[in-house]
Amino acid sequence: MSNDLTTSDVTPDVAPSVQRIEIAPGVLIPQIGLGVFQVPADEAQRVVEDGLAAGYRHIDTAAAYVNEEGVGAAVRASGLPREEVFITSKLRNGDQGHDSTRRAYAETCKRLGVDRLDLYLIHWPYPSKGLFEQSWQALQELEAEGAVRAVGVSNFLPEHLDAIARHGGRPPAVNQIELHPTFQQPEVAAASRALGSVVEAYSPLGQGADLTAGAVVDAATAHGASAAQVILAWHLARGHVVIPKSAKPERIAENLAAADLRLSAAEIDSITGLDSDERIGGDPATFALSQMR
């Protein structure tokens, strides 16, 4: 794919084989989205424009990524109707608390240049701060007011899910967690599903580290596909929403094309067998970065 696509090259609808999953009443999320963690602010517009041109209709950003302006600019530059592009952002740790959550949500919408988000997540439970239940309350209010289409959480362990479930109301639409072949967190995924939350896999490629695993390479060879496509097809077969990040136009397109790859049951089982319980990211039980505040 060339890097100089113009607005007229943007396809009018999501890549046809990408499924949409209902995460809240009437709210459908495309199962493959483009993640923009570690995409610098001055590259975000170009990267997201490449994604939209390739057919992505779901972008995953966060206040802490400091690139929301570029994401919003790309959506506008694409010429796509706002409702065609599913946008997720996340509450920065330092903004947790009831009133500060509401303020942070308004600021995120402003930076993105949108009236409301499709999905807003508490980025981390940050349990040492003791504010995630208040933050959840604020998210539920925003949803009830129609200020956001759906609300959810990220990095929530079963004890954090239990704590917010005690408040009643709708369950988190999603729990976005680190999940890739070598780190699958089956207990967290099961607890999320039991509550009614869709599992969204972040770092779905293990930030590239899982691409050389034997079971992945074998399936890639068998299908004439790339290792990244095999891993993403494994996620899709297991019902995860995935948000692979790439800043390279050819990889952005390659990752989306994983929607057309079907693995055999044996291949899926072999990849599931790679779990070694080694996380890449922070441990949600202790992760306490205020994320630049």
- Give backbone dihedrals phi and psi of 171, rounded to 5 degrees, phi first: -70, 160
In whole angstroms, the minimum distance from the beta carbon of 247 to ligand NDP comes to 4
Cβ-proximal residues to 45 (8 Å cutoff; 6+ apart), any chain: 70, 71, 73, 74, 77
Q: Using an 8 Å Cβ cutoff, are 45 and 17 in contact? A: no
Considering beta carbons, is residue 146 or 208 the nearer one to ligand NDP?
208
Q: Which residue is nearest to ligand NDP (CB)?
A: 35
Encoded amino acid at 53, one letter: A
Considering beta carbons, is residue 79 or 248 the nearer one to ligand NDP?
248
Tell me how far the alpha carbon of residue 270 is from its chain's centroid.
25
CA-to-CA distance for 51 and 251, rounded, in angstroms? 10
Considering beta carbons, is residue 113 or 208 the nearer one to ligand NDP?
208
In whole angstroms, the minimum distance from the beta carbon of 15 to ligand NDP comes to 15
Q: Using an 8 Å Cβ cutoff, are 89 and 112 in contact? A: yes
In whole angstroms, the minimum distance from the beta carbon of 241 to ligand NDP comes to 11
Give yes or no: 65 in active site.
yes
Instruction: Give the pair of three-digit tokens for residue 40.
Output: 């610098």
DSSP 183: B
Pairing of strands 198-202, 27-30: unpaired
Considering beta carbons, is residue 155 or 270 the nearer one to ligand NDP?
155
Considering beta carbons, is residue 176 or 184 the nearer one to ligand NDP?
176
Q: Using an 8 Å Cβ cutoff, are 142 and 116 in contact? A: no
Pairing of strands 198-202, 174-178: parallel
In whole angstroms, the minimum distance from the beta carbon of 61 to ligand NDP comes to 7
* Interhelix angle 132-144/98-112, nearest 10 degrees: 60
In whole angstroms, the minimum distance from the beta carbon of 189 to ligand NDP comes to 15
- R_g of the chain, CA atoms, integer Å: 18
Q: Using an 8 Å Cβ cutoff, are 178 and 279 in contact? A: yes
In whole angstroms, the minimum distance from the beta carbon of 157 to ligand NDP comes to 13
- Give backbone dihedrals phi and psi of 109, rounded to 5 degrees, phi first: -60, -40
Contact positions vs ligand NDP (CB under 6 A): 35-37, 60, 123, 154-155, 176, 202-208, 211, 226, 228, 243-248, 251, 254-255, 281
Considering beta carbons, is residue 70 or 244 the nearer one to ligand NDP?
244
Active-site hit among 65, 120, 126, 202: 65
> What amino acid positions are annotated as catalytic residues?
65
